[in-house]
Structure 1
Amino acid sequence: MNLGIFSHCTVDEIRIGADAYERPGGPAFYCGLAARRLGFDVHLCTKFSKDYAYSDLLSKNKIKFENAVSDRPTTKFTLEINDTERTLWLNNVCSEIEYRHVDADGILVSPVFNEVSPQTLDKIKKDSAMTFLDPQGFLRRTDPHNKVFFERTNLDISGISVIKSDPNEVYCLTGLDGIDGVNMMRKNVEHVLYTNKRDVSLFHKNREYSLRLPNMELYDTSGVGDIFTATFCCTLLKEKDVLWALSFAGGAAQAALESREVGLDKIPPRAATETNASYFYNTIKFKDI
């Protein structure tokens, strides 16, 4: 099966306590590699500079991309991580990703900072059988010191198959907090994934399904949300079962966190994801809404 991804490749400077690491990142990498671990072909629509040091890593993992080279510098972030909290600074922004048709079973739109325009998102929705959205890149802004913050934004999410969001993103999209905001989103979206640290919920039709990730000491949390999202999308496309998709997504996130690796090294092997998913499948709670 095939997954298309619209997102910038990035360079991430990850700071954890006194340690600092430079790693390739962005949903382009985290989602792309997570999908490859699940046996999906991946077609990536992205942009990076002509001297980007990590493009060979995409090719090595058989992630397809074309027309990606830009005259502008690669998007770069500095991430300061403290347990579940992280602070971002934006150093560079590469070129906008233009719309192109991608022959795929589903398209994941996951911008990091305005590289996908609302107009391009509309074209993707019209062209794709299933469109998945992580909206963070539509909501991010920077202050005079390049620190990233979120801002209330009008974005047309109608026609989206799956949206993944946290409490801050829900408020920025709807102007409402928590479940009130989720319920507004449910009017236009088939599946709403709502992540609040350890608590993960899926709103589908008239039910809320929920699971809780185990409490553990955290190290590098960068990319875990992308791994979760890509695993959910791929499992839903392949299995057509929302409970297995939620279980696999939770299982992949847990395995990534348990690895205590930095950057892309935390993307889990399929076996670790499956082991955790089997446990979560039997612990999912649900209620009618």
Structure 2
Amino acid sequence: MKIGIFSHCTIDQIKIDGQSYERSGGPACYCGLVARRLGLDVELFTKFGHDFTFTNELQKNKIKFDNALSNNPTTKFTLEIKDAERNLWLENICEEISYVNSDTDGTLISPVFNEVSKETLEKIKKNSDMIFLDPQGFLRRVDLQKKIFLDRTEMDLSKITAIKSDPSEVQNLTGLEGIEGILNLQKRGVEHVLYTNKRDVSLLSKNRLYSIKLPDMNITDTSGVGDIFTAAFCCTLLKEKDVLWAFSFAGGAAQAALESKQIGLDKVPPKSAIETNASYYYNIMKFTDV
């Protein structure tokens, strides 16, 4: 079974407690590594420059990335992280990712900053049966200091199998907040809506809202945790066809990543840690009819 991932690889300058760490990152890397941990083949549709140093690790993990090398420098961000809060600046953006038709069983679209056009998204939707969307890169803008902020954006969400959004993303996609915004995403064609609000994590599927709560812990680096969460959900749903088990795996993967206290891609957890946490969440999950 194979998943395709449309997203840039990135170089992240991560600043935590006065310390600065330069790490490879981006959803292409985080999601790709999680997918391999969970036993899926991975094909990246990405772009990076000659300054990107993680290609050997991608090859070692048998992650495919044809035609990824660009003459432009790699997309680069500066992240300032304090507990669960973070600020983000765009330092550089690599070239746009063109549409490529492939034989993947599912496709994860997770742009970081406009590298996937809406036209490319529509082409993917026409040629893939299972489509997972993290919309952050469609919503992001930069101010004069290149600091990232989100802006109200209209998107066609028909034929989306699952979307992962936080409160700010839901508000900028729908103009609504909380459960009203979540229900609006479902009405617009999304089959499963994942909603992450710090420790509180929810899933809207059909007429039920399921919820789990991540443990309270001292957080070191949150970069990539959302990508790890999303990839665990996508891959488990592709393999098992069980949305509640997929939701449990997503929560389990996020918890394992945070508990590792690692910086950057080193926080991608092993399958055993994800499974242990997932079993716990599956048994304590709450739900309400909506």
The TM-score bracket by the shorter chain reads: over 0.9
The one-letter amino acid of 1:115's match is E
Match of 1:118 in 2: 118
Q: How does 1:165-176 map to 2 (within 5 A)?
A: 165-176=165-176
Match of 1:45 in 2: 45
Query: Which whole-Å CA distance do the structure 2 matches of 1:17 and 1:102 have between them?
Result: 43
1:126-156, CA deviations, whole angstroms, 9 ceiling, x for partnerless residues? 1001000000000000000010000001111
Match of 1:198 in 2: 199
Query: Which whole-Å CA distance do the structure 2 matches of 1:208 and 1:176 have between them?
Result: 17
Structure 1 residue ranges, 4+ long, deviating more than 4 angstroms after superposition: none
Give unmatched runs, 5+ long, in structure 1: none
Match of 1:240 in 2: 241
Match of 2:232 in 1: 231
**Residues matched between the structures, number:** 289
Query: Which whole-Å CA distance do the structure 1 matches of 2:278 and 2:175 have between them?
Result: 34
1:10 maps onto 2:10 in alignment? yes
The one-letter amino acid of 2:6's match is F
The one-letter amino acid of 1:170's match is V
The one-letter amino acid of 2:47's match is K
- What is the deviation of 1:103? 1.1
Match of 2:288 in 1: 287
Query: Which whole-Å CA distance do the structure 1 matches of 2:10 and 2:197 have between them?
Result: 25
The one-letter amino acid of 1:213's match is L
- What is the deviation of 1:84? 0.5
Match of 2:271 in 1: 270
SS at match of 1:278: helix
Query: Which whole-Å CA distance do the structure 2 matches of 1:129 and 1:178 have between them?
Result: 28
Query: Which whole-Å CA distance do the structure 2 matches of 1:206 and 1:178 have between them?
Result: 16
52-61 or 113-122: which moved more? 52-61
- What is the deviation of 1:102? 1.9
Query: Which whole-Å CA distance do the structure 2 matches of 1:52 and 1:200 have between them?
Result: 33
Match of 2:78 in 1: 78
Query: Which whole-Å CA distance do the structure 1 matches of 2:154 and 2:114 have between them?
Result: 14
Match of 1:249 in 2: 250
TM-score of the superposed pair, with normalisation by structure 1:
0.99
SS at match of 2:191: strand
Match of 2:103 in 1: 103
Q: How does 1:183-222 map to 2 (within 5 A)?
A: 183-187=183-187, 188-222=189-223
Query: Which whole-Å CA distance do the structure 1 matches of 2:132 and 2:239 have between them?
Result: 14
Q: Percent identity?
A: 67
The one-letter amino acid of 1:274's match is E
Query: Which whole-Å CA distance do the structure 2 matches of 1:10 and 1:235 have between them?
Result: 25
Give unmatched runs, 5+ long, in structure 2: none
Match of 2:160 in 1: 160
The one-letter amino acid of 2:110's match is S
SS at match of 1:102: coil
The one-letter amino acid of 1:19's match is Q
Measured on the aligned residues, the alpha-carbon RMSD in Å equals 0.7
Query: Which whole-Å CA distance do the structure 2 matches of 1:259 and 1:49 have between them?
Result: 30
Query: Which whole-Å CA distance do the structure 1 matches of 2:179 and 2:150 have between them?
Result: 19
SS at match of 1:286: strand
Query: Which whole-Å CA distance do the structure 1 matches of 2:286 and 2:192 have between them?
Result: 17
Query: Which whole-Å CA distance do the structure 2 matches of 1:53 and 1:251 have between them?
Result: 29
107-116 or 179-188: which moved more? 179-188
43-52 or 227-236: which moved more? 43-52
- What is the deviation of 1:52? 2.1
Is contact 2:24-2:52 (8 Å) kept? no
Match of 2:177 in 1: 177
TM-score of the superposed pair, with normalisation by structure 2:
0.99
- What is the deviation of 1:51? 3.6
Is contact 2:6-2:28 (8 Å) kept? yes
Query: Which whole-Å CA distance do the structure 2 matches of 1:11 and 1:69 have between them?
Result: 14
